[in-house]
Amino acid sequence: MRFGRLRTAGNEIPVVFVSDTAAVDVSDLVPDWSRETLAAGGLDRVNAADVSSREQIAVAEHDIAAPLARPGKIVCIGLNYRKHAEETGAPLPEQPVIFMKSADCLVGPFDDIEIPPGSEHTDYEVELAIVMGNRLKYAASEDDAMSAVAGFSISQDVSERHWQLEKGGTWDKGKSFPTFNPMGPWVDTSHEFDPQNLALACSVNGEQRQGSNTNDMIFTIPQLVHYVSQCMELFPGDIINTGTPAGVAMGMDPQRYLVPGDVVETTIEHLGTIRNTCIAATQ
C-alpha cells in the first residue's frame, strides 16, 4: 500500500494511492495519517477495507501534501555513505552519526524550498526515509527493529552548511530551517522491494548531481533502526533519514549551492520522484 495525503477543498485528507495518477479518500477510516492514527491501528484498518471500488481522485488535480501529519520527530543519520564521507574529508564513522531536524520543516513533495535570508550555502541531499509504524525502544534485535517499520519514502534533507558547520555547536541548526525537509510523494508499505538495493539520485535544473545506490550505506537500514532505538524511543509516524550519497554541493570544486529559481529533483527507485523549486524566504 502507498499512503499519503492530498490537499483538496482547503484541507489535507488521508488517501491511498492506487496508481501513480489516482488515489482514493480514506478519511472515513482514518482522520489523518498521524502518530495517533498509526498507533491506533490505522494501517491495519485501511488494509482490511476494500478500497478498490471507491471513487478515484485524479492526483494531478490536487497538490500532494507531506505524507504524514505532525510527525513527532525527524531523526537523521550523517555520513552514512562511504563516498559522501570521503568527499567531506571525514573519516568513516565507527557508529551511526545521529542528529535531529525540526519536525516543523517537513513539507510536501512538490512544495517550494525556501532559501534562508543571506544564505550562500544551501545544499541538497537525496535520502531514503524510514517511517515507523509502531512504538519501539531498546529493540532486542534487528529483526525486532524492522518489525516496527511501516514503510519507506523519499526525503530531501536540505542543509544550510554555514549554519551546520561554521557556527559551532551541533549540526541541527543547519538542518531545521522552514521547508528544509520535502518528503513524499507517499509512504510505501508493500515491502515488495529490497530497500538496501535502491538506486537514488538528485538533479538540479536537470543536471544530475548525485547518483548512487542504498547498498553503499555504511550502516544498513536494520542496523540504523536498531541503533536509534537504543538511545531514543521511536513512535508511529517518526521519520529516520538514512543519509545521503556523494555529489552534494559542499563536495564540489567549485561548490555550487542552491539559489532561488533552482529546481531540485529527487528520485528513488520504486518510490518515485519529488520536485521542489527554490525561492527566497520571506518573513
pLDDT at 169 over 80: no
Q: Which of 184 and 83 is assigned the larger pLDDT? A: 184
pLDDT at 52 over 90: no
Q: What is the arithmetic mean of pLDDT over 65-80? A: 96
Question: Mean pLDDT score of the chain, rounded to an integer?
Answer: 95
Q: Residue 179 is placed in which grid cell?
A: 521547508
Q: What is residue 144's predicted lDDT score, i.e. its pLDDT?
A: 98
Strand residue runs (E) in the chain: 2-8, 11-17, 22-25, 57-58, 63-65, 74-78, 97-101, 106-107, 113-115, 122-123, 126-132, 149-156, 159-160, 181-188, 199-204, 207-213, 239-241, 263-268, 272-280
Give residue for cell 555504511.
218
> Per residue in 74-91, pLDDT tens?
999 999 998 888 887 878
Q: What is residue 15's predicted lDDT score, i.e. its pLDDT?
A: 98
CA 98, 101, 102, 106 torsion-angle sign? negative
Report domain extents, the chain.
2-65, 74-280
Q: What is the arithmetic mean of pLDDT over 108-124? A: 97
Q: What is residue 88's predicted lDDT score, i.e. its pLDDT?
A: 79
Q: Where are the alpha helices (DSSP H) in the chain?
A: 35-39, 42-48, 82-88, 142-146, 161-165, 221-231
Confidence of residue 166 (pLDDT cuts 50, 70, 90): confident
CATH of 74-280, one of 3.10.20.440, 3.30.360.10, 3.30.479.10, 3.90.850.10: 3.90.850.10
Nearest to 51 by CA among 12, 14, 20: 14
pLDDT at 115 over 90: yes
> Per residue in 221-274, pLDDT tens?
999 999 999 999 999 999 999 999 999 999 999 999 999 999 999 999 999 999
Q: What is residue 86's predicted lDDT score, i.e. its pLDDT?
A: 82
Contact 67, 23 (CB under 8 A): no
pLDDT at 211 over 90: yes
Q: Read out DSSP for 42-96? A: HHHHHHHS--TTSPPEEGGGSEEEPSSBS-S-EEEEES-BHHHHHHHTPPPPSS-
Q: How far is CA 135 from CA 44, 72, 99, 257, in A?
A: 15, 12, 20, 38
Which residues on adjacent β-strands are paired with residue 207?
204
Q: What is residue 19's predicted lDDT score, i.e. its pLDDT?
A: 95
Q: What is residue 219's predicted lDDT score, i.e. its pLDDT?
A: 97
Give residue for cell 542552491.
258
Q: What is residue 70's predicted lDDT score, i.e. its pLDDT?
A: 92
pLDDT at 283 over 90: no
Q: What is residue 165's predicted lDDT score, i.e. its pLDDT?
A: 84
